[in-house]
Amino acid sequence: MSKWPGKTVIGLTGNIGTGKSVVRRMLEHLGAFGIDADALSHRAIAKGAPGYSQVVTQFGRWILNADGEIDRQRLGKLVFSDPYALKILEDIVHPLVSQAVDFLVSRTKKTVIVIEAIKLLESDLKDRSDSIWVVYVPEKIQIERLVTRRKMDEAEAIQRIRSQSPQVIKMGAANVVINNDGSVEGTWKQVLRHWQKIVPTTIQTVEAPVARVQTITGELSVTRGNPRNSEEIAAVINRLRPNGHRYTRNDIMEAFGEKAFLLLRAGEKSVGILGWQVENLVSRTTDMLMEQGLQFEKAIPLMIDEMENASRELQCEVSLVFLYPSLASNEKIWERLGYEKRTPETLGVRAWMEAARDSKPGDTQLFFKKLRVDRILRPI
């Protein structure tokens, strides 16, 4: 049983390319507090973090890149071809990740926690979980995803897959198995069905605004989007960004596997959208669109405050907002909200810089704000 009183802990695992992160984000949409233990393991060996010097001492300075950071691809090729080297790395990283998880769980007010970890069953996180969920797809789909999405060659993909324990072993230890080889909607239905068994009282049947503000032209309200709003969200994006990609309901359903949405309404009409994701304790707003003619000085803070509140609940360190010119030009509003224009290279922290580089849509301006002073896995 979980070691955290008053918390229900879902331990989520599955082999590479099965879609664990998609399932974790679905659980987050339903109200869970998500922790990506694999991302924490990357932070544990970043330059200046507690595991950095131990890894360099064990494996040598040849694993460092020109900036002095550990080259994870170079390290990965070594440890995934040598079980002994992998064990050395895990003995360094796992205790640090365990400490970080304990810190995050003890701080959150949410009562359901989902911990995603590829090595969940091989670590003490297994014994800390109330329910073990395993995500499964056939090996041929794993290979296809690694080749198309992660740009691995087929031989490397097969090596990575077969360096892990067989899926059938993980499934044998599971309380719940999610088959993720079909449609996104099919995966959603499986996740929702099992979630309702664990936390039936948290399912909301009525949409209610999470924030409101009165303007000269009437009341604006913000509502958290959910998969039932997929068609409406697609229509808003297509109307407000007519020259971009034309989204369908299915596109948005798939997007819910990566991000959350806020809908801005004037009365019954949808007049704005904000799409953002929280990953590795970094909040990234990549979609923010509003109708011209709105009172931006009230509409922008209404949306941003709700995004920040939700991000702080997930214990984010920083907020990155990527804006197209129509909203980026309102610089005084962004200054009052505590944001400043930055480039990814000036953020100073590797996890923040990587998040900015990976997430930035073309032709957008990055606005940056710290949400809290303390950081996870800082050097002691």
- The proportion of the chain whose per-residue pLDDT surpasses 70, expressed as a percent, equals 94
Average pLDDT over residues 149-160: 88
Is residue 379's pLDDT more than 50?
no
Average pLDDT over residues 11-15: 96
**CA trace torsion 97, 99, 101, 105 (10° rounding):** 180
Expressed in percent and rounded to 5, the helix, strand and coil fractions of the chain are: 45, 20, 35
Q: Read off the pLDDT band of 380 (50, 70, 90).
A: very low
Is residue 1's pLDDT more than 60?
no
User: Tokens 């953020």, residue?
Assistant: 347
Residue 207 is encoded by which pair of tokens? 């949409």
Q: Read off the pLDDT band of 73 (50, 70, 90).
A: confident
Is residue 349's pLDDT more than 80?
yes
Q: Which residues of 72-89 are buried (b: 16+ CB within 10 A; e: fewer)?
A: eeebbeebbeeeeebebb
Domain ranges of the chain: 8-202, 211-370
pLDDT in tens, 182-209: 888 899 999 999 998 887 654 444 456 6
User: Residue 173's Cα: distance from chain center in Å?
Assistant: 26
What mean pLDDT, rounded, does the chain reach?
A: 89
Instruction: Indicate the CATH number for domain 211-370.
Output: 3.40.630.30
Q: Read off the pLDDT band of 81 (50, 70, 90).
A: confident
Residues ≥6 apart with Cβ < 8 Å to 142: 15, 16, 17, 18, 157, 161
Query: What's the confidence (pLDDT) of residue 216?
Result: 61
Residues ≥6 apart with Cβ < 8 Å to 201: none
Residue 247 is encoded by which pair of tokens? 């989204």
Greatest pairwise CA separation for the chain in angstroms = 67
Average pLDDT over residues 42-60: 92
Fold for the domain defined by 8-202:
Rossmann fold (3.40.50)
Is residue 271's pLDDT more than 70?
yes
Residue 69 CB burial class (10 angstroms; 0-12, 13-18, ≥19)? middle
Which is nearest to 97 in space by CA: 49, 26, 169, 133?
Answer: 49
pLDDT in tens, 19-47: 999 999 999 988 899 999 989 999 899 98
Average pLDDT over residues 87-112: 91
pTM > 0.85: yes or no: no
